[in-house]
Structure 1
Amino acid sequence: MGLEKILAISGKPGLYELTAQSRGGFIVKSIPEGKKMAVNIRHNVSLLSEIAIYTYTEEVPLADIFEKIKEKEDGGEAISPKSSKAELEKYFAEILPDYDVDRVYTSDIKKIFQWYNLLIKNGFTDFTDSEEAKDKKSEEE
Structure 2
Amino acid sequence: MSVQKILAISGKPGLYELKLQTRTGFVAESLLDGKRITVGMRSNVSLLSEIAVYTYSEEIRLFDVFKAIATKENDGLAISHKENDDKLRSYFREILPEFDEDRVYTSDIKKVLNWYNTLQPKGLVTVEALSKEDAKEETAE
TM-score normalised over the length of structure 2: 0.91
Aligned to 2:46: 46
Aligned to 2:59: 59
Identity, % of aligned positions: 54
Describe the superposition over 1:101-122 as per-residue Cα deviations: whole angstroms up to 9, x where unpaired: 0000000000000000000123
Aligned to 1:69: 69
Provide the C-alpha distance between the structure 1 equivalents of 2:132 and 2:107, rounded to a whole number of angstroms: 25
Q: Which runs of 5+ in 2 are unaligned?
A: none
Aligned to 1:117: 117
- How far has the Cα of 1:83 moved from its partner? 0.3
Secondary structure of the 1:60 match is strand
Structure 1 residues 9 and 128: alpha-carbon distance in aligned structure 2, compared to 1, 3 A threshold:
farther
Output aligned runs, 1:126-141, within 5 Å.
Answer: 126-128=129-131, 130=133, 132-134=134-136
Aligned to 1:85: 85
Provide the C-alpha distance between the structure 2 equivalents of 1:70 and 1:78, rounded to a whole number of angstroms: 8
Secondary structure of the 2:130 match is coil
- The answer to whether the 8 A contact 1:53-1:62 is kept is yes
Provide the C-alpha distance between the structure 2 equivalents of 1:106 and 1:112, rounded to a whole number of angstroms: 10
Bigger RCO of structures 1 and 2 (CA < 8 A, at least 6 apart):
1
Provide the C-alpha distance between the structure 2 equivalents of 1:19 and 1:25, rounded to a whole number of angstroms: 11
Provide the C-alpha distance between the structure 1 equivalents of 2:4 and 2:34, rounded to a whole number of angstroms: 18
Aligned to 2:8: 8
- How far has the Cα of 1:3 moved from its partner? 2.5
- The answer to whether the 8 A contact 2:4-2:47 is kept is yes
- How far has the Cα of 1:58 moved from its partner? 0.3
Provide the C-alpha distance between the structure 2 equivalents of 1:6 and 1:54, rounded to a whole number of angstroms: 21
* Deviation >4 Å, runs of 4+: 135-138
- The answer to whether the 8 A contact 1:17-1:31 is kept is yes
